Amino acid sequence: MMKFRVFAATAALLGLASPAITTASAENGEVNVYTYRETKLVQPLFNAFTADTGIKVNVVSASSGLEQRIKAEGTNSPADVLLTVDIGRIDEAVAAGVTQPIKSEAIDKIVPVQYRDPDGHWAGISMRARVIYASKDRVKQDAITYEELADPKWKGKICIRSGQHIYNNGLFAAYAARYGEAKAEEWLRGLKANLAQRPSGGDREAARDVAAGKCDIGIGNTYYWALMMNNDPEKKPWAEATRVILPTFQGGGTHVNLSGVLLAKHAPNRANGVKLIEWLTGEKAQKIYADSNYEYPIRAGVAINPTIAGYGKLNADSLPISKIAANRKAAATLVDKVGFDN
């Protein structure tokens, strides 16, 4: 059984040494992972990787600041792999200059081109979609477009978390990438006018407020609904009061974001880091992602978890994730400009 070494984010952010992760591990069969994913979510993956390869996985887990830590550690950083969620986090790591191209034929073959960096600095390993939690009682439509969220017919009926949250930033950036900033601003003003209340809480709370009758539709990620339905008896009634609709762009598909992986710039165990990255796109890892995290596999042919499959067939939008990343700053500026969170 693999032994995990997990260290507090506080120590990481204060620059305190992690006693079990050192560059000396370059001589051993180890790989050092910095991750934003909760340990309980990634532990099954690392257990399986160690069982398959004999390579021990050392882990630093934190909710923020990992890019800054790697940058501060410089050439002495023990980090080999950064495991993260959302194109926002991925983009910030690349911008911080703490990554290097992965250079893997296996990754290029398995991961669709729209879900990896043109320069090779990151690759998606699973997908999540930004969808609608609709009231079973009050919403009769089976299909809704993202553009339609600004239609006055939804006035006072939409609940959503902060417009500056990375999940919404990704959706808003996708809109800006597709239609330009002027159209995105107009759409955001329309969406804001349709909100039932000031943006607050998280995606689960959007479902809660729909269940309570405060709004008719909430905006959330696909996996939160599944987690409420299957893993959280206290919040299960929120899921039971709603159903998931996979919205699409007009003439396009459903907006998706990524769980992604990056190779650290000064990785002391580069070969093992690449081996882990490639393994994460293999069938076994992709199945674990699908069933443990309720995410869509990035690898074709891997079965989708039944709960997620129950939403209907995902027609993922073809807009490259890199183009969405390029519009993140513009989207954040527009959120402030229209006073979305006010």
Cα–Cα dist 101/103, whole Å: 6
Q: Report pLDDT for 216.
A: 98
So what's the pLDDT on residue 9? 38
Distances (CA, A) of 67 to 167, 265, 299: 19, 11, 27
> What is residue 42's predicted lDDT score, i.e. its pLDDT?
87
Low-confidence ranges of the chain (pLDDT < 70): 1-28
Predicted confidence at residue 12, as pLDDT, reads: 39
d(CA 31, CA 53): 11
Q: Which residues have CB under 8 Å from 19's CB, separation 6+?
A: none
Instruction: Note the pLDDT of residue 86.
Output: 87
pLDDT at 24: 42
For the chain, domain boundaries = 9-126+258-304, 128-255+313-337
pLDDT of amino acid 40: 78
* 3-state SS, residue 144: coil
Residue 38 pLDDT: 79
pLDDT at residue number 37: 83
CATH number attached to the domain at 9-126+258-304? 3.40.190.10
Helix (H, G, I), strand (E, B) or coil at 35: strand
Q: Are 184 and 329 in contact (CB under 8 A)?
A: no
SS3 132: strand
Binding-site residue set: 223-224
Domain 9-126+258-304 and domain 128-255+313-337 have a common topology: yes
Q: What pLDDT does residue 141 have?
A: 94
**Hunting for tokens 């909430």 — which residue is that?**
218
Q: What is the pLDDT of residue 11?
A: 40
CB atoms within 10 A of CB 167: 22
Which superfamily does CATH assign the domain made up of 128-255+313-337 to? Periplasmic binding protein-like II (3.40.190.10)
Identify the pLDDT of residue 203: 97
pLDDT recorded at residue 15? 41
| Residues in contact with 291: Cβ distance below 8 Å, sequence separation at least 6, in sequence order | 305
Q: Which residues are annotated as a binding site for Fe cation?
A: 223-224
What is the predicted pLDDT for the residue at 1? 39
